[in-house]
Amino acid sequence: PYLVVRGYLKSVVDIERITARIAFQSARPRDLSGLRDSLKRLPEIISSLVECSSEHMAMLAKAMTPEAALLSLLEGALHDEPNTMLRDGNVIADGYDIELDELRAIQNNCGEFLLQLELREKTRTGIPNLKVEYNRVHGFYIEVTNSHSEKIPEDYSRRQTLKNAERYITPELKTFEDRALSAKDRSLAREKLLFAAILDTLIPYVSHLQEVALSVAELDVLATFAERALTLNYTAPIFTSEDIIKIEEGRHPVVENQVDNFITNNVKLGDRRQMLVITGPNMGGKSTYMRQVALIALLAHCGSFVPAKSSCIGLLDQIFTRIGASDDLASGRSTFMVEMTEAANILHNATAQSLVLMDEVGRGTSTLDGLALAFAIAQHLLEKNRSYTLFATHYSELSRLVEKSSQVANVHFDAIEHKQRIIFLHAVNEGPANQSYGLQVAALAGIPELTILAAKEHLVRFKLENLEERSNLDLFSADTSGFIEEQATEEQHPALALLYEIIPDEISPKEALDKLYILKKATERG
């Protein structure tokens, strides 16, 4: 039945918005006609729900049943297709108001009167081509060509002179003109008065219309849930009183519709696994993975099936996110200040039944300050809030939280290099990442090749010169000097590493010379 319901709902206007306009007395004619037509469709929608045995559906059907008096008012008062603007008239239906009907009759009989007048004047004057017409500038007039000017009666008053004709008006035509034009103005004024009265009459129905709007909106959501579940292979989540979030082969409900082969992933939180520290390269899938978990949990709590092979979710009270980077210029807050404000809100309000998503906390300040803050915030979430937490970071030191708490687990996203290209696998694996692939991602983004080569040289030099604190990996080693010596021993000669990056057939003579200078500098340092 969801297909039938969705078909009917397509013709239903935004009842909530129109109700708000009625409450503020700002509704337009088309708003009320749209409301009328939508309320007339509701009984059809309600009848389509008969086969649904759900008690909740019965409550929705009752709540969205329009009051008969309201529908009768709208049907009797409004024209079938009213003009958009009240000033254009043709809004109030014929038969609703006697005075308005009389004024309209005067306007509608105008053509018949002019035709009869023209026939009489042709007979009286003997002018065969005499015409009685109207335009907005000069009003009603009798037009006579100059060839019959000698036949003009004395009661004709000249109104306009043309090149080959004269236009006149008679006392009879003037009297009719006053009545006709007055009738038009008076009918417009009458329609405005009647429309305002209709809006006043609708005020007592505002609360009823709001209830109808909410019921229709809920039915729309439920019909969409049903359509998504059937067409996208969603499954019913299992709710439990246990503290656990377990999702098998979960998918991002938006991203999966934008790519051909979405990589599914599992997640398990709770049962001595309170926090996941997520590492891996940029564009590797960390943020998508976190959002995916939050959206699946949210959809489940909304009553929807979810994009996963199976899911078991404990009841959550809130979902907190600290994702993305943006400043707040209007309030004078920097990107880092916004980040810390959001983090503070999470630390103050998250509970053991909350799901927390933290993405790259601490990146907006210096490396050491950022790492220290990220470490402390993660510890606070573990020890004080005790929330379900997904913590994505490039600080590999955070992976050592497993040494401090058995409630932490490390997971990572991998990438592989193939023919000078980086391929993201988008699959989550247990354990921490071993590198960030930052330079490869920069190259993929279009950073010039010479700049990438220079960055590689700087990276090697930073390691050799004991400047490891400038990177985002392994900043707080227990023995920094020993780590750097070990890395320098394992690292191949800088010049050789740079040489492997060169593809002779794809560079110009100028680029070859630039690379030669870079290689020369690397060998001098090596």
How far is it, in rounded angstroms, from Cα 327 to Cα 337?
A: 8
Residue in the structure block whose two tokens are 């906390």: 361
Contacts of residue 104, Cβ cutoff 8 Å, sequence gap at least 6: 94, 183, 187
474 falls in which pLDDT band (50, 70, 90)?
Answer: very low
**Average pLDDT, stretch 130-145?**
90
Whether residue 264 is predicted with pLDDT greater than 70 in this model: the reply is yes
What average pLDDT score do residues 166-182 get?
Answer: 89
Range with lowest mean pLDDT among 85-94, 174-183, 439-448, 494-503? 494-503
Segment 74-88 mean pLDDT: 93
Predicted local confidence at residue 193, as pLDDT: 96
Token readout for 110 is 């105008």
- Is pLDDT above 90 for 247? yes
| pLDDT at residue 524 in the model | 66
| pLDDT score of 55 more than 90 | no
Q: What is the pLDDT of residue 490?
A: 45
pLDDT at 171 over 70: yes
Confidence of residue 182 (pLDDT cuts 50, 70, 90): confident
- Residue 500 is predicted with a pLDDT of 65
Over 80: is that where the pLDDT of 513 sits? no
Please give the average per-residue pLDDT across 273-300, as a whole number. 94
Highest mean pLDDT among 194-203, 394-403, 433-442, 477-486: 194-203
Compare 413 and 416 and report the one with higher pLDDT.
413
Torsion (CA) 246, 252, 253, 258 in degrees, nearest 10:
-160
- Within 10 Å of residue 459's Cβ, how many Cβ atoms? 18
Q: What number is the average pLDDT over the span 53-81? A: 92
Q: Which of 222-231, 283-292, 485-494 has the lowest mean pLDDT?
A: 485-494
β-sheet bridge partners, residue 265: 250
C-alpha span between 176 and 94 (Å, rounded): 23
Rounded-to-integer distance, Cα 415 and Cα 437, Å: 8
For residue 310, what pLDDT is reported? 97
Lowest mean per-residue pLDDT among 98-112, 143-157, 203-217 = 98-112
Q: How confident is the model at residue 453 (pLDDT cuts 50, 70, 90)?
A: confident
Higher pLDDT, 1 or 4: 4
Query: In the predicted model, what is the mean pLDDT of residues 153-175?
Result: 92
Dump pLDDT digits (tens) for 337-382.
888 999 999 999 999 999 999 998 888 787 788 889 999 999 999 9
Query: How far apart are the C-alpha atoms of 325 and 361, rounded to whole Å?
Result: 10
Q: Which of 45-49, 152-156, 296-300 has the lowest mean pLDDT?
A: 45-49
Q: What is the DSSP code string of 509-523? A: HHHHHHHHHHHHHHH
Percent residues over pLDDT 90 in the chain: 58
Neighbours of 58 (CB within 10 A): 14
Q: State residue 53's pLDDT score.
A: 76
Mean pLDDT on 182-189: 89
Does the pLDDT at position 449 exceed 90? no
Mean per-residue pLDDT over the chain, rounded: 87
> Stretch 415-421: mean pLDDT, rounded?
76
pLDDT of residue 476: 42
pLDDT for 329 equals 66
Span 137-142, mean pLDDT?
A: 89
Q: Average pLDDT, stretch 275-289?
A: 91
Predicted pLDDT of residue 452: 83
pLDDT for the residue 343: 93
Model pTM score: 0.70
Q: What is the pLDDT of residue 440?
A: 78
Cβ atoms of 38 and 74 within 8 Å: the answer is no
Exposure pattern of 473-512 as b/e (b: 16+ CB <10 Å)?
ebbbeeeeeeebeeeeeeeeebbebbeeebeeeeeeeeee
pLDDT recorded at residue 522: 67
Q: Is the pLDDT of residue 492 over 60?
A: no
Domains of the chain: 2-86+191-229 (1.10.1420.10), 104-189 (1.10.1420.10), 235-435 (3.40.50.300), 458-525 (no CATH)
| Alpha carbon distance 29, 82 (integer Å) | 6
Average pLDDT over residues 297-312: 96
Q: According to the model, what pLDDT value does residue 13 have?
A: 95
- What pLDDT score was predicted for residue 328? 63
Contact by Cβ (8 Å): 461, 518: no
CB-based contact 245:355 (threshold 8 Å) = yes
* Residue bearing the bigger pLDDT, 281 or 509: 281
Q: What is the mean pLDDT of residues 319-335?
A: 76
